[in-house]
Amino acid sequence: MHRVGIIPFDTRDTAVAVLFVTSQTRGRWILPKGKIKPNETHLEACLREGFEEAGVKGIVLADFPITVVVTKQTTSGKVALPVTYYPLLVTEQVDEWPEKDRRQRHWALIEDAPRVAYREDLLPLIKQFDDLRPWITEAAGRHKSAQPEALTPAR
């Protein structure tokens, strides 16, 4: 079943940082993802998953979807699933969120992200995100300039 996920990120000057969360089963660094609920759009699912798994809110950059195949450990073994990830410019990070007791969060500079991300599945995704960096940071800059200064968490 197709899933959607987010690449939560923030920028400061030329630096780009990505927010990872731990997986529930094995504690590995992954990016938030999940199933789309009935009558939910991709973007609504992205916002919900970002808040539930990472405690972040933000702006989904819908122009930059990246679909990759990831493997998921299930009770019947490994299963391959297509996941479409969208960059999410983080505008708010809260201290209390639904899965706080089950997950940790970790910000990593994009240059360090390949060493943080456990899954080989995520390496092509991070590379594509990095390849799109000029356009993603340009879009993020437009959104940030429209936001009050207090809403940007990395400042």
Which residue has tokens 């798994």?
Answer: 53
Q: How many domains does the chain have?
A: 1
* Confidence (pLDDT) at 151: 52
d(CA 78, CA 139): 36
Assess if residue 69 is contained within a domain.
Answer: yes
| Amino acid in the structure at residue 4 | V
Domain containing 122: what range? Answer: 3-150
Tokens of 131: 């390849």
* Confidence (pLDDT) at 153: 58
Dihedral sign computed on CA atoms, order 26, 27, 33, 37? positive
d(CA 7, CA 150): 22
Assess if residue 131 is contained within a domain.
Answer: yes
Assess if residue 48 is contained within a domain.
Answer: yes
Assess if residue 45 is contained within a domain.
Answer: yes
Stretch among 46-55, 71-80, 126-135 having the lowest mean pLDDT: 71-80
At residue 77 the predicted structure's pLDDT band, cuts being 50, 70 and 90, is confident
pLDDT above 90 for 70 = no
At residue 148 the predicted structure's pLDDT band, cuts being 50, 70 and 90, is low
Assess if residue 139 is contained within a domain.
Answer: yes
φ, ψ at 58 (rounded to 5°): 180, -160
d(CA 34, CA 96): 20
Angle between helices 122-131 and 133-145 (to 10 degrees): 70
User: Is the Cβ–Cβ distance between 83 and 70 less than 8 Å?
Assistant: yes
Assess if residue 97 is contained within a domain.
Answer: yes
Give the CATH number for residue 85: 3.90.79.10
Assess if residue 142 is contained within a domain.
Answer: yes
pTM recorded for the entire structure: 0.90
At residue 91 the predicted structure's pLDDT band, cuts being 50, 70 and 90, is very high
Assess if residue 155 is contained within a domain.
Answer: no
